[in-house]
Amino acid sequence: MNRKALIIIGLQAVIIVVLAWVLVFYGKDEFEAVQQKDDEEIKTETHVTKQKGAAVVKLSADAQQASGIAVETLKSASHQAETVSYGSVIGIEPLIDLRARYLAALADANAVRAAISNSQQEYQRLLALNRDNRNVSDRAVQAAEAAWKADQAKLSAAETQANSLRDSLRQQWGETLARWAMEPQGGALTKLLSHEETLVQVVLPDGAQPQNIDIKPAASRGKAVAAVLVSASPQTDPTLQGRTFYYRAPAGELRAGMRVEARFKGQGGKSAGGVMVPNTAVVWYAGKAWAYRKQDDDQFVRSLVDTSQEAGDGWFNRSGFQAGDVIVVSGAQLLLSEELKYQIKNENED
Q: Which domain holds residue 179?
A: 94-190
Between CA 25 and CA 34 the distance in angstroms is: 15
Which pLDDT does position 21 carry in this prediction? 66
9: exposed, middle or buried (C-beta count within 10 Å: 0-12, 13-18, 19+)?
exposed
DSSP 8-class letter at 79? E
Same domain, 218 and 181: no
- Cα gap 69→166, rounded to integer Å: 62
Domain co-membership, 176 together with 243:
no
Compute the distance between CA of residue 341 and CA of residue 53 in angstroms, rounded to an integer: 17
143 in a domain, yes or no? yes
241 is a domain residue: yes
Q: Residue 188: its pLDDT value, please?
A: 85
pLDDT at site 18: 64
| Cβ atoms 77, 276 nearer than 8 A | yes
Reported as type and span, the H/E element at residue 327 is strand 326-330
Domain boundary among 171, 190, 209: 190
Please tell me whether residues 110 and 143 are part of one structural domain: yes
- For 270, the 3-state DSSP assignment is coil
Report the C-alpha gap between 166 and 95 in whole angstroms: 11
- Looking at the fold, whether 180 and 210 belong to one and the same domain comes out as no
CA torsion angle 71 74 80 84 (round to 10): 30
- Same domain (yes/no): 228, 291: no
Cα–Cα distance measured from residue 325 to residue 336, given in angstroms and rounded to the nearest whole number: 19
> 300 and 247 in one domain?
no
Listed in sequence order, the residues at least 6 apart from 71 whose beta carbon sits closer than 8 Å to its beta carbon are 294, 326, 327, 328, 329
C-beta atoms surrounding 254 within 10 Å: 21
Residues 149, 103 share a domain: yes
- Same structural domain, 173 and 216: no
CATH number of the domain residue 208 falls in: 2.40.30.170
DSSP states along 199-211: EEEEEE-TT---S
Q: Is residue 67 part of a domain?
A: yes
Q: Considering the domain boundaries, does residue 38 fall inside one?
A: no
DSSP 219-255: T--SPPEEEEEEEE-SSPPTT--SEEEEEEEE-TT--
Looking at the structure of the chain, the number of domains it has is 3
**Is residue 319 in some structural domain?**
yes
Q: Using alpha carbons, list the distances in angstroms from residue 324 to 8, 99, 122, 279.
A: 87, 58, 91, 18
Sequence-ordered list of residues with C-beta below 8 angstroms from that of 39, at least 6 positions apart, any chain: none
Q: 238 with 295, same domain?
A: no
Last residue of a domain, one of 158, 190, 222: 190
The domain boundary residue, chosen from 153, 175, 190: 190
| 101 & 184 share domain | yes
pLDDT of amino acid 180: 93
Rounded to an integer, what distance in angstroms lies between the CA atom of residue 296 and that of residue 56?
A: 10
286, part of any domain: yes
Is residue 18, in this structure, part of any structural domain at all?
no
Q: Is 74 helix (H, G, I), strand (E, B) or coil?
A: coil
Planar angle of CA 116, 118, 124, nearest 5 degrees: 95
- Residues of the chain with pLDDT below 70 are 1-6, 10, 14, 17-18, 20-46, 266-270, 345-350
3-state secondary structure at position 286: coil
Give the residue among 52, 50, 45, 60 at the shortest CA–CA distance from 296: 60
On whether residue 29 sits in a domain, the answer given is no
Q: Is 299 helix (H, G, I), strand (E, B) or coil?
A: strand
Asked whether residue 53 falls in the same domain as residue 106, the answer is no
Say which CATH number the domain at 57 has. 2.40.420.20
Instruction: State whether 258 and 279 are in the same domain.
Output: no
Q: Tell me, what's the pLDDT at 303?
A: 94
Instruction: Check residue 114 and give its pLDDT.
Output: 79
